[in-house]
Amino acid sequence: MSVAKGRAATAKVLSPRPAARAGRGQTLTPRPPLPATRGEGELERGARGTVLGIDLRSGPRYPTGLAALDADWRLMLLGTARTDAEIEAAVAQVRPALVAIDAPLGLPEGRCCAERACARARSGILRAVDRALIAAGYRVYPSLLPSMVGLTLRGAQLWARLDAAGVPVLEVFPGMAQDRLGLPRKQADLAGLERGLRRIGVRGLPRVRRITHDELDAVTCAVMALLHRAGATETFGPGVPAPFAAPLDTAGAAWLAAACASEV
């Protein structure tokens, strides 16, 4: 999960940049429309199983990665957003059947806020799912570690808004997913991660510009949403407010991903 660094966030609304500068991955880049084979509209596309991956950051100071994949693993949207309004605009555009988010989506059980002075702070900084992941050998940051508080609160708010809108949500950890899918993590090999995502079946990744690490993690989140819908995930923790999902296992996951991709 991302760890927030830096201090005062300066809200900045991004407007689409000129085409000449679009290569830096700062704009929302809707994919060109699909050939109209069956007259599918946006709503039907979502109903057909388009999913949205969100590599959420702690605030508008940092780029939140967004990627949408349709049910045949075709990229429908790729880009970054800063503000909650921009993220929600992408949700409205994609009408996803499932949203997979890289961020804690709730407070630790028993906590009512992130304040250290609160009487309920004795419930600690770990969620049950954090403990389950750590027990399974994955290094995740406790949700209310000081450097994680901003991300966790934003994740919980995003979950609440999506839930109120009736959008199903999944929590994922791209690094863990990449490990289990046999893909390099972004820190280790960014180009290898992009190649690996293509290899497991993601279609339509742009070749004309560099894809940022935020975007590649968002694509990984979207892949997780597709795998979850295909029944190819293992869940951890109590499942509330949202299930946490990882690919089934290291050995079978890459094969399953390829099978799911070629099936549709």
Angle between helices 174-181 and 250-263 (to 10 degrees): 90
* Binding map of Zn ion across residues 120-139, x = CB under 5 A, - = no contact: x-------------------
Are 94 and 46 in contact, with CB atoms under 8 Å apart?
yes
In 3-state terms, what secondary structure has residue 52? strand
Query: For Zn ion, which is the closer residue by CB, 7 or 122?
Result: 122
**Cβ-proximal residues to 197 (8 Å cutoff; 6+ apart), any chain:** 183, 205, 216, 219, 220, 223
Listed residue (180, 189, 191, 204) closest to 261, CA to CA: 204
Of these, 118, 136, 188, 240, which contacts Zn ion (CB under 5 A)?
A: 118
Q: How far is the CB of 97 from Zn ion (least distance, A)?
A: 34
Residue type present at position 165 = A
Residues 200-219 that bind Zn ion (CB under 5 A): none
Q: Which stretch binds Zn ion (CB under 5 A): 2-10, 13-21, 98-106, 118-126?
A: 118-126
By CB under 5 A, is residue 113 in contact with Zn ion?
A: yes
Of these, 11, 47, 112, 165, which contacts Zn ion (CB under 5 A)?
A: 112
Q: Which stretch binds Zn ion (CB under 5 A): 94-102, 108-116, 124-132, 243-251?
A: 108-116
Query: For Zn ion, which is the closer residue by CB, 152 or 178?
Result: 152
By CB under 5 A, is residue 240 in contact with Zn ion?
A: no
Measured at CB, which residue is nearest to Zn ion? 118
Give the helix ranges, DSSP H, for the chain.
Answer: 42-47, 84-94, 128-135, 149-164, 174-181, 190-199, 213-229, 250-263
Residue whose token pair is 């510009």:
209
Listed residue (86, 102, 93) closest to 27, CA to CA: 86
Query: For Zn ion, which is the closer residue by CB, 118 or 258?
Result: 118
By CB under 5 A, is residue 116 in contact with Zn ion?
A: no
Q: Where do contacts with Zn ion occur on this chain (CB under 5 A)?
A: 112-113, 118, 120
